[in-house]
Structure 1
Amino acid sequence: MSPRPMSSRASQRVKSPGALAVLVGLAGLLLAACAPAGSPMPSRGTLDPPAPRLQPAPQAQRAPLSPDPNMPLSGGLTPYGQTGYGSIGGRGDMVRVGLLVPLSGPAAPVGQGILNAAQMAAFDVADERFVLQPYDTRGTPAGAAAAARAALGQGARVLLGPVFSGGTRAAAPVAASAGVNLVAFTTDPAVAGGNVFVMGFLVREQVARMVQFAMGEGRTRFGALAPDETYGRVATQALRQQVAARGVALVDSRVYAADAADVRGPAQALRGAEAILIPDTGDGLRAAVNALAYVDIDADRVRYMGTMLWDDPRLWRESALAGGVFPAPPRNTVQGFAAKYQDAFGTAPPDLASLGYDAVALAAVLARVPGGPRFDRAMLTDAAGFSGVAGIFRFRPDGTVERGLSVMEIQADGNVLEVAPAPIGFTGGSAGF
């Protein structure tokens, strides 16, 4: 399987200096060990993305790995022979990074969006030795395994992707047999561990941010009203874990059928809650909030809490949701990324594109570690973390990701307002580029 060549039109757009000038605050990740627009979450009922978003360590000798203005940027979007996008200088000792995404099949738009953003990051952050090699997974486990074998056969030092949990499970042992780590875009934490690091926006991280915010308002009695599907059950379980860990009360948690028009029965059980998690979207979310209002549990007194499923302007016009809050990546960096993507490719970035940018920026920084490229576990799991267009993040030893998210509040006029900013660093330091 050969890496997919870029069309001449895309190449011309991306290589335009005006289109992709290095972004201040976006154009690189700070490796702490050495120194979308739109919802990225899946539709309810699944933990995978849809098919159709630091701090320096204290040692003085550890210098930030922000892009060096004196270091030539990668031509990362210029074809390097037939093996990928990378060096324009022809230097030896190339650092090859495999990108495993669906470029054909039903999920091709998602994969192409990730690839576009990945190319942006290579242009913005990488040096001339960096080679980004994309491979088509076809959106299937077998395709992901074949893509991993092809990438490793062509010298990839780390694998970015696949997008789906099934493909991640199939590619992981292929990478492990070569001693290579894999950073996947899936939101399923069950595939993390060993040589697999999960970069997607995890439901439990979103719920944790909501509980933290509500407790900051003095709320100590929580509830959940969720669809009786995988996504709703995972979110509810995350709420139970957060409540138990933080020593606050769970009034009750109730589920409703995904197609239920009347949710008043389950809603009744949540009387007395001061904050209610509703991990749903569309008609299900409307039915839930209307049922809560009908039984006198309204947003004037009770804080409705969502997940990143709520990051949808079509929902913000629902009057019953006014005052509700949901987690999101930092608006300023995500919107800046979206504007640059639009300028480069003539369209808004699709879901997960920001993760493609951050993953390649991470790999580009690790490729420039003094002493040689480092994609090992110790570097990936440094406790200080990294900063990207989707905010700060760090990988835990179990391979799952921890993120810094902002809190957005839905306003009565159908807009949203940031009521709690995303943190700029994890405990023990500050983030930066």
Structure 2
Amino acid sequence: MFTIAKRMTRRAAIACIAAAGMAVAGCQPTSLGSSGPAIGPQIDPSQPVQVAMLVPGGTGNADLDWLGRSLANAARMAAADANGARIDLRVYTTTPAEASAVEAAETAAAEGAQIILGPLFADSANAVGNAMKDNNLNVLSFSNNTQIAGSNVFVLGNTFDNVADRLVDYGVKQGLRRFLMVYENDAAGQIGAAAIQSAIAQNGATLAGRQEHALSRDSIDTIIPAVSQAAKSGQIDAIFMTANQQAVLPYLTDQLANAGVTSREAQFMGLTRWDTPAARLQLPGVQGGWFALPDTTLQSQFTSRYRAAYGEAPHELGSLGYDGVAAVAALAGSGNRNAVNTIGLTRSAGFTGVNGVFRLRRDGTNERGMAIATINNGRVVIIDPAPRSFGGGFGF
């Protein structure tokens, strides 16, 4: 039996832990709630704000070091862009080990840090959050594992919950009501499935069925008849796939297409980016499918600026470094003494980063403005642009 993605590459592991957040330490922070006390110090807006940044470096892994370099460089760009604020950015390199991240955070706190950006990995972010409680410092982690969010720990990464809610919300507005969920049986697949199920419930739609598969061709083959029957019989309006492992999407969509099921029979949508790698765009099964993207105009501008400044493209997660500094700078630049505490960080208007608008919730999670895209004849087409601002309450 040919197994799909049986072994994860280091790059895939980075994306999975930073984006899906699979590694969670045992001690979980408690949720702040909507009316808890403010965490974090007040600042003097007339003075520089000392921001500590924990990034991977010197690891011996080229991809991980590139990511650390991108995070730090993007943060420097945001500090330079600060309007009316002075950011004293201090970068500390760490290994993926929890102890290394905690040691760096404790050093930063001793040197006067007023807020911590990073680290990358979920378990390390959890450990740093616990270590910084006595220092009354907030931690803006680059992970998006919502399981570690809460108390003084925020997640900056785009979450499965964000993507699922955006897609289901848009689908419901287009008349889609009955969703079939297809997901992997690994940890990331389970997290993604939970996000999809929650989004369906929150948007008043119906989970009409669920199909779980292992990371193998044989396992995917076993669910194709049931998925195909549901689509052809009109029992469902949409098929929402986690397809988190890189090899799953091409095989799953091709097998469905071979069985006569495409987005014409039931709208395909995915929890992950369908436009990378670029070769995916030519796959017959993904044509017409929906997925979520950041604000492509802002992202393109950032990439061009970064390449001009540093002579290389930024890592796809590097923009999170910009976002963290930009949030603090926006608050400090307006004279807000709460620039590094939970009162300021969780303002309902949010902030504008290089991937679009975003805001932090009091429970440590985030909300990001995203576009809805489809693939049409091998080209990415934006069918619903990313919002440029938030409304009165949470939710677009």
TM range (shorter): 0.7 to 0.9
Match of 1:95 among 49, 64, 88: 49
2:330–2:351: 8 Å Cα contact kept in structure 1? no
| More moved, 102-111 vs 138-147 | 102-111
- What TM-score, normalized to structure 1? 0.76
Residue in structure 2 matched with residue 244 of structure 1 by the alignment: 201
Aligned counterparts, 1:281-320, within 5 A: 281-312=245-276, 313-320=278-285
In the alignment, which residue of structure 1 is the partner of 2:20? 47
Tell me which stretches of 4 or more aligned residues in structure 1 moved more than 3 Å. Answer: 43-46, 126-129
**Higher helix proportion:** 2
- Give me the TM-score of the superposition, normalised by structure 2: 0.83
Percent sequence identity over aligned pairs: 30
**CA offsets 1:312-355 (integer angstroms, 9 cap, x no match):** 02321211110011101110000110111111111111021111
Judging changes above 3 Å, is the alpha-carbon distance between structure 1 residues 294 and 273 closer, same or farther for their aligned structure 2 residues? farther
In structure 1, what is the Cα distance between the partners aligned to 2:22 and 2:353?
A: 20
Q: Secondary structure at the match of 2:280?
A: coil
Q: Which residue of 2 aligns with 1:59?
A: none
- The corresponding residue for 2:106 is 149
Deviates more, 1:280-289 or 1:326-335: 280-289
Query: Equivalent residue of 2:15, what SS?
Result: coil
Choose the corresponding residue for 1:169, options 104, 126, 129: 126
1:261 and 1:287 in contact (8 A); partners too: no
Q: CA deviation at 1:157?
A: 0.6
CA distance in 2, matches of 1:371, 1:283: 47
Per-residue CA deviations over 1:175-206 (Å, capped at 9, x if unaligned) read 21111111111010011100111111000110
Q: Which moved further from structure 2: 322-331 or 173-182?
A: 173-182
Greater shift, 41-50 or 133-142, is seen at: 41-50
For the residues of structure 1 that align with 2:193 and 2:342, how far apart are their CA atoms?
31
The 2-side partners of 1:263 and 1:43 are apart by: 21
Q: Which amino acid letter does the alignment assign opposite residue 354 of structure 1?
A: S
Give the alignment partner of residue 330 of structure 2, picking from 365, 370, 391.
365
Find the aligned partners of 1:46 and 1:253 in 2 and give their Cα distance: 23
CA distance in 1, matches of 2:247, 2:18: 14
| RMSD of equivalent CA atoms | 2.5
Measure, in 2, the Cα distance between the counterparts of 1:257 and 1:215: 29
Assess if the C-alpha contact under 8 Å between 1:225 and 1:288 holds in 2.
no
2:156 to 189, 196, 199: 199
Report the CA distance shift for 1:379/1:388 in structure 2 as closer, same or farther (over 3 A): same
Amino acid at match of 2:21: D
Distance 1:374 1:395 in 2: 13
Counterpart in 2 of 1:425? 389
CA deviations 1:245-293 (Å, max 9, x no partner) are: 2332222111111122562321332313211111215321122112222
For 2:16 and 2:51, the matched residues in 1 are separated by: 30
Among residues 115, 125, 138, which one is paired with 2:82 in the alignment? Answer: 125
**Deviation, structure 1 residue 373:** 5.9
Secondary structure of the residue that 1:117 maps to in structure 2?
A: helix
The residue type paired with residue 254 of structure 2 is: N
Which residue does the alignment assign to 1:278? 241
Letter in 2 for 1:276: I
Which of 190, 208, 216 aligns to 1:259? It is: 216
1:268 paired to 2:231: no
Change (3 A) 1:394 1:44: closer
For these two proteins, the number of residue pairs brought into alignment is 350
In 1: Cα distance, 2:335 partner to 2:247 partner: 53
- After superposing the two structures, state which structure 1 stretch, 333-342 or 345-354, moved more: 345-354
Structure-1 residue corresponding to 2:34: none
Give distance in 2, aligned partners of 1:389 and 1:324. 25
The 5 A counterparts of 1:338-417 are 338-370=303-335, 372=337, 374-412=339-377, 414-417=378-381
One-letter amino acid of the counterpart of residue 228, structure 1: N
The residue type paired with residue 263 of structure 2 is A
Deviations 1:201-238 (A, max 9, x none): 00011011111121122111101112211121112122
Q: CA deviation at 1:360?
A: 1.1
Q: Separation in 1 of the partners of 2:336 and 2:99? A: 36
What is the SS of the residue equivalent to 1:315? helix
